Amino acid sequence: MNNERSARLGTMPMPQLMWKISLPIMFSMLIQALYNIVDSMFVAKYSSQALAAVSLAFPVQMLMIAVGVGTGVGLNSLISRLLGEKHLSEARATANNGIFLAVISWAAFALIGGLLSEPFFRAFTQDEATIAMGNDYLRIVTIFSFGLFMQLAVEKIMQASGNTVYNMIVQCVGAVINIVLDPIFIFGLGPIPSMGVAGAAIATVIGQFAAMILGFIINQKKNKELSIKLKGFRPNKRIIKSIYIVGFPSIIMQSIGSVMTIFMNMILISFGDIAVSVLGVYFKLQSFVFMPVFGLTNGLIAVIGYNFGARNRKRIYDAIKVALIYALIIMAVGTLAFMLVPETLLSLFESQEEAIAGELTRIGVPALQIISIGFLMAAVGIILSTVFQAIGNGVLSLIMSLARQLIVLLPMAWLLAQWKGLDAVWWAFPVAEVVSLIICLFMYRWADKKYLKPIGAALEE
């Protein structure tokens, strides 16, 4: 039985291991961030109504990803711990149950999308063209979301045993196919007619299915210790419960961002459309800073989960230390970029009219500079929050996310908007990072005493 790959999670020197296991995930997440921007650019060139339709559908897509990724986090955490405990048969059973949950998730969203997509759009706009395009787009990406959920499940199964290079290949193939097919299906090429927004949805679905198929093939051939064998499969309530103990809080955490964006837009809209646009541009830009850190945390979950199962406390502490150093370096680079060249970053998103007016830059420069003050604190909070997930306590991570993005941020933003105006609103972001970091440090101290210090030190020298 070949468990060499997962065993390296407990033996390879930590700086080398963390870099080796996380770098492919970081790269693939950057590709995903690039895809989101390029995809929006193609749709915007088709028509402003097409962009509006896709933008309105985006929260539903975020919710699908939240369910898929959140379930995958629970799957990753449980499998990693079982591998560390040398319970290989149960780890395989967990992988099979993860595939089952992906099927259930797809069925739920296919039903919702098929029945409720048009009412969803009519709740936001009365423009019939936007409703028609949005309805076409959302129905396609929900009804055919099977590829998305399966891809995410297989990726997390491979991550749990340290096979992150393959994840990078799978994600990159899906994203590249999507980007290549977007202009062909949206605008038409040769015998392929122009399909507009529906073409964008079809390109997305094809990319997801391609990634799913490739992921399954790689997992079955290269990750044999966790190969999927569904013959005679029966859902296991105990395993599913264990997956969702960590996964459900992660689903909620993944969903919090969309809720926060909606309410922040409600606050900012009183200052005009450009203020809302600045927030949207910020989220696109910050994805290039935060995505590498999130890629790092994906690797960290596997490393800590394995060594927590193996009762190797020293390697857990080493992993946390190394991850903190890497995360702080990444965030420091992002902070410098936001502080020193905000005009250059904002110019990537300015239309000709906005460039003439200069409003996006005028409002956006102080926004980027103020928000980036909290990046280093965010790095610490994100890493420590990941530790909670890796040891099986997703509730603490949920508390952290709620504090960062809802409980502190939104009331503070609303108060600053009322008292001091638009320029003050952006200070809500670093304030939220300070408060949530303080909360996180107290929670980590408690978790350390409860989960880490008591475990055996059999492997410590």
Q: Work out the average pLDDT over 440-454.
A: 91
**Mean pLDDT for the chain overall:** 83
Chain-centroid distance of CA 85 in Å reads 28
Give the separation between CA 106 and CA 102, rounded to whole angstroms. Answer: 6
| Stretch among 59-63, 356-360, 429-433 having the lowest mean pLDDT | 356-360
For residue 102, the surrounding DSSP H or E stretch is helix 88-122
Q: Work out the average pLDDT over 306-327.
A: 89
Give the separation between CA 199 and CA 195, rounded to whole angstroms. Answer: 5
Residue 65 has pLDDT above 60, yes or no: yes
Structure tokens at 221: 């051939």
| Stretch among 59-63, 122-126, 204-208, 340-344 having the lowest mean pLDDT | 122-126
Q: Are 76 and 301 in contact (CB under 8 A)?
A: yes
| Stretch among 48-52, 292-296, 328-332, 428-432 having the lowest mean pLDDT | 48-52
Give the separation between CA 422 and CA 370, rounded to whole angstroms. Answer: 12
Q: Work out the average pLDDT over 304-308.
A: 84
Q: Of 228, 200, 251, 270, nearest to 422 (Cα)?
A: 270
**What's the pLDDT at 125?**
67
Burial of 87 (0-12, 13-18, 19+ CB in 10 A): middle
Q: What percent of the chain shows pLDDT beyond 70?
A: 89
Highest-confidence range of 38-42, 242-246, 274-278, by mean pLDDT? 242-246
User: What are the tens digits of pLDDT across the range 93-131?
Assistant: 888 898 899 999 999 999 999 898 888 878 766 778 878
Alpha carbon distances (Å) from 186 to 26, 54, 98, 218: 29, 13, 34, 31
Confidence class for position 457, pLDDT limits 50, 70, 90: very low
**What's the pLDDT at 355?**
47
Alpha carbon distances (Å) from 109 to 52, 114, 162, 223: 22, 8, 30, 29
Higher per-residue pLDDT: 69 or 326? 326
Give the separation between CA 54 and CA 426, rounded to whole angstroms. Answer: 27
**What's the pLDDT at 82?**
82
User: What are the tens digits of pLDDT across the range 225-273?
Assistant: 777 787 777 888 888 888 888 788 778 877 887 788 778 877 877 786 6
Q: Are 198 and 205 in contact (CB under 8 A)?
A: no
Confidence class for position 4, pLDDT limits 50, 70, 90: low
Give the separation between CA 366 and CA 345, rounded to whole angstroms. Answer: 13
Confidence class for position 383, pLDDT limits 50, 70, 90: very high
Q: What percent of the chain shows pLDDT beyond 90?
A: 29
Strand, helix or coil for residue 192: strand
**What's the pLDDT at 299?**
84
**What's the pLDDT at 6?**
58
Give the separation between CA 91 and CA 84, rounded to whole angstroms. Answer: 10
Cβ count near 96 (within 10 Å): 21
What amino acid occupies position 421?
Answer: G
Higher per-residue pLDDT: 60 or 315? 315
Q: Where are the domains of the chain?
A: 12-235, 243-454
For residue 256, the surrounding DSSP H or E stretch is helix 237-268
User: What are the tens digits of pLDDT across the range 277-286?
Assistant: 777 778 778 8
Q: Are 293 and 375 in contact (CB under 8 A)?
A: no
Give the separation between CA 423 and CA 271, rounded to whole angstroms. Answer: 10
Residue 384 has pLDDT above 90, yes or no: yes
Q: Work out the average pLDDT over 62-85.
A: 84
Confidence class for position 58, pLDDT limits 50, 70, 90: confident
Structure tokens at 446: 């408690």
User: What are the tens digits of pLDDT across the range 170-220?
Assistant: 888 888 898 899 889 988 888 888 888 889 899 989 999 999 999 888 888
